[in-house]
Amino acid sequence: MSDFKARTIYQIYPKSFHDSNGDGIGDLKGITEKLDYLQSLGIEYLWITPFFTSPQKDNGYDVADYRNIDTLFGTMKDFEELVEEAKLRGIGIMLDMVFNHTSTEHEWFQKALAGDQYYKDFYIFKDGKPGTPPTNWVSKFGGSAWEYVSAFNQYYLHLFDKTQADLNWENKNVRKELVNVLKFWMDKGVKGFRFDVVNLISKPEKYADDHEGDGRRFYTDGPKVHDYLKELCHESGLNDDGMVTVGEMSSTTIDNCIRYSNPKEKELSMCFNFHHLKVDYKDQQKWILRNCDFMALKKLLNDWQLGLQEGNGWNALFWCNHDQPRIVSRFGDDKQYHKESAKMLASMIHFLRGTPYIYQGEEIGMTNAYFEHIEQYRDVESINYFKILKKEGKKEEDIYRILQERSRDNSRTPMQWDDSPYAGFSENEPWIEVTGNYKEINVKNSAVEPDSILDYYKKLVRLRKEYKVISDGSYIPILLDHESVFSYKRTYDSQTLIVINNFYGTETEVELEGNMEGYQCILSNYESRDPINRLILKPYESLTFLKNE
């Protein structure tokens, strides 16, 4: 288990990472070409989002063949080379398994549509008349979660886009197929898996209207989800092989995450939860803007740290991924305090109990895209919501403001490698525009800049390997009532760590309790400081003190 406690995982969205063949789309060879860079960061696992055969309606989260590589991204040989080359650099590859649904172009769904009952049972078909779906559940991408098939006078369930049909996990044959998919990739030498929205796989026995919400309470952490995960991991030998596994857990609870990740349960290594990334949603709604509720954020981080610690669960620590806006634009200040706030936000989570994830470009402080026209957007969810919000009567300028803050495309713009045209991502026009600030914010500049954000991330990765207190220590909250500082202690044997983060761009004062003798400042985003009890923190200042006796 300790294998992944001291390690940091790097996430790659292949379409936007590096294009090796000049078609404007990132590919597997492109990742291989950048392995030395990734090794220099010190990371030991790469989670790569789906590159399997897919019509790309949801950028690969609509898989049409789990065992093949989409020609957009390369060939199986390219993949095998990537695994090999990564291994030489001490990096394990983690694949992204989308097992809640398949693309409607998957052979199974096509056979189902052709009337083959064996494959119809792979999906969730329910009776219903045109215009009256079986339930009022809402798809996560907007609109009804049911699509009508006139040939059967039935609907099929899709919790996401209508081209992503939900699999019927009740069917043992489905579960067997998925175990075999895992075995196939384990034989190719992959070292772990991320499971997409995996806490949605178990649907309720009865399908009924939700009069309180959009239906999610019926299938989130559903009735048999723990049994299914135990079976999946056991049958594929995932646990015996010491693989790293992480489940993406939509709207989950602390108690369920303890069960998902407590080693005794033999389910997963750790969980992603998203509650801390909804503190700027109004009434849990992504498409209504609101400022970050810092006290709510503190409470959530703290509750999850303490809750999982108590139940011996394990958390994935993250701010960014391919579905979230860039954190420096979201909770930091990507203009006046770009460097300071990016570093503070990094410290805030990297020293917590759990395994940290870095999303491509986060380590150089990449910002939101600030696109101004709908034609610049590519994401199915953003485009759907543009239409929905327009229909609701919202003004276009307001919709653009929302998209500029909330669209998933904010994190999907090409990785900024240098200041050449297309940011060194590709030699030709990329599938999605490069963010306008690439001439200043890029890897090439970061590599020579003193005190760069990149350098800071390297230190964070290194410190986690160096000190047991970071990888294995207990978490103790401090300054819980402070209205602008997130601070905590970690303890392990004779080591104690104190982490102090000013979340805002204004000075603030903190008073630390206890004797500060013996502490030294091991990381700071301004100059180093003496460990004293009373400190006036600068805007976005982050300080980490260590006592190592």
Q: Should residue 61 be labelled a site residue for ligand NOJ when binding is judged by CB under 6 A?
A: yes
Return the residues of window 200-259 that contact ligand NOJ according to CB under 6 A: 248
Which tokens go with 213?
Answer: 């919400």
CB of 196 to ligand NOJ, least distance (A): 5
Q: Should residue 166 be labelled a site residue for ligand NOJ when binding is judged by CB under 6 A?
A: no
Query: Could you tell me if 404 and 370 are in contact, meaning their C-beta atoms sit under 8 angstroms apart?
Result: yes
Q: Should residue 197 be labelled a site residue for ligand NOJ when binding is judged by CB under 6 A?
A: yes
Residue with tokens 């700071």: 524
Which tokens go with 18?
Answer: 């590096």
CB of 98 to ligand NOJ, least distance (A): 5
Strands (E), 134-201: 146-149, 154-157, 164-166, 192-195
Using Cβ positions, the residue closest to ligand NOJ within the complex turns out to be 61
Return the residues of window 71-130 that contact ligand NOJ according to CB under 6 A: 98
Cα distance between residue 125 and residue 131, in whole Å: 15
Residue 158 amino acid letter: H
Residue with tokens 């030395």: 36
Closer of 93 and 159 to ligand NOJ (Cβ): 159
CB of 281 to ligand NOJ, least distance (A): 17
CB of 193 to ligand NOJ, least distance (A): 14
CB of 24 to ligand NOJ, least distance (A): 20
Closer of 38 and 197 to ligand NOJ (Cβ): 197
CB of 377 to ligand NOJ, least distance (A): 15
Closer of 380 and 441 to ligand NOJ (Cβ): 380
Number of shown-chain residues binding ligand NOJ (CB under 6 A): 9
Q: Should residue 409 be labelled a site residue for ligand NOJ when binding is judged by CB under 6 A?
A: no
- Rule CB under 6 A: choose which of 19, 27, 58, 340 binds ligand NOJ: 58
Closest CA to 160 of 106, 109, 216, 96: 216
Q: Which residues pair with 359 in a beta bridge?
A: 11
Closer of 155 and 160 to ligand NOJ (Cβ): 160
Q: Give Cα separations from 374 to 228, 304, 322, 377, 393 (angstroms).
A: 41, 37, 19, 5, 17
Closer of 15 and 34 to ligand NOJ (Cβ): 15
Q: Give Cα separations from 400 to 141, 278, 289, 382 (angstroms).
A: 18, 20, 12, 10
Closer of 322 and 489 to ligand NOJ (Cβ): 322
- Rule CB under 6 A: choose which of 78, 196, 363, 541 binds ligand NOJ: 196
Q: Should residue 147 be labelled a site residue for ligand NOJ when binding is judged by CB under 6 A?
A: no
What are the DSSP calls for 36-87, one per residue? HHHHHHT--EEEE---EE---TTTTSS-SEEEEE-TTT--HHHHHHHHHHHH
Q: What are phi and psi of 366, to 5 degrees?
A: -60, 145
What's the distance, CA 328 to chain centroid? 16
Show which residues are catalytic.
Answer: 196, 248
Closer of 415 and 461 to ligand NOJ (Cβ): 415
Contact footprint for ligand NOJ (CB under 6 A):
58, 61, 98, 160, 196-197, 248, 322-323
